[in-house]
Structure 1
Amino acid sequence: MTASQASTDDARWEAMRRRDRDLDGAFFIAVRTTGVYCLASCAGRPLRKNVEFHDTRESARAAGFRPCLRCKPDQPRETLRWATVPTTLGLALVARSEAGLRLVTLGDDQAVLVRDLERRFRSARLTPDPAGLEAELRAVAAEIDGRGAALDLPLDARGTPLQQAVWAALRAIPAGTTASYAEVARAIGRPTAARAVAQACGANPLAVLTPCHRVVRADGGLSGYRWGVERKARLLAREAA
């Protein structure tokens, strides 16, 4: 459904029932029982009798409604283009902002990967663009498959200063080698922050490009990996070879 087609209350109600992200910002849903206004894709499920629709957020505010804390309808909506590509480790989903790669995830089911993308970026405008991302997809697949390097691609991973420091340290670990969480903590000047390093590894949004798979326990054990310990073992074995 396009924005022009969502001009009636009935069409807007159906768009809200579908959580249609493409219509976020085309209109706003005001819920009388909670006093908030929302985007079309908001996860809230009000009753039809409690809903009214507004063309603009200004109209909703003038009627006494405040922005929903869940879908944040007043936040600027950044556009992220995304697509998937097959690799030897399963499907890779690649999402890019204007500044660079924001997300690279691994999985076996595109629908699951897309739901994860939507969960991570609830206030973004998500646009599938396999043709426009062809170069990025090719480079990321080559990096994952060990056929080349995607390290010259611009990155736009966002995190806390500690997370950014950890991710930079991970990218400095050479292929074929590993480091412990404690060693990474010392490398960033936070020798007592091994647990925080582990948490930053778990929050890494760029699978393989930021090689959190190269971080292991002090005894050499693989510990966890966001995209599956089996994938981590395969990556390390291939790099060691």
Structure 2
Amino acid sequence: MTLWCISWFNTSQAKELTLATSKSIPPYIFEETENGIQIERVRAAFDLAGHSIKKIIFTSNKRAELLLKQKKVDAIINVAMDQKNLYYSDPVIHYQNSAISLSRLELNLKSIEELAYYRVMAFQNAKKFLGNRYATAVSKSPIYDEAVNQLAQLERLYNEQVDVIILDVRIFEYFNQLYNAAGKYPAPVQYHYIFPSSPRSLGFHNATLRNDFNRGLKKLLSPSNDTKDSQDTPNPVPN
């Protein structure tokens, strides 16, 4: 009877959740198929916590935050960490931005400030996300541009129109595969880890649900699981 009551209590607490997130950020988030590295990790953590995802709303960051504050969604994936009156989960995954150059150039970037000497193309709003040191450095670059389409960054790099591109390592590798699949042949590249890794968490309006998610995430990322990969361990960043 005791075991039955415990089972009934746990089942009664299970929830079907609605989440909001930004639009596609391959390979982390795919809107069309509602999956990707990040979404699958979130889904698995909720499953281990006894909950399930019923619906995912793909929208702008601003609207996602509004939906959460209005309690029309249970959580936001990729929430900004400066929002008041929200409960933040433990990091789900780490993004790792990197400066990427052609290997044949033999660049040896040790700091963000050295970007001032090179032609640079970054992802959209990089100046906002990568901080003042970055914004100051690239303001001195011979050429600086930001791209909405990150595949365009690869094109510019391989065509030697820029010396360095700035983007997340996983995103680069995803688009590099597309580039290769299109019959083009990428050249060897070098990663310069001059940026710290960026943890990505979920935002909740309910502390209990946040705590449930953290427990599921802890189980998922425990040493007995092989879901946590080397990319989630921050790379050392030179001073």
The bucket for the TM-score relative to the shorter chain is: under 0.3
Answer with 1 or 2: which has the greater Rg: 1
Q: TM-score, normalised by structure 1?
A: 0.23
Q: TM-score, normalised by structure 2?
A: 0.23
| Bigger relative contact order, structure 1 or 2 (CA pairs below 8 A, ≥6 apart) | 2
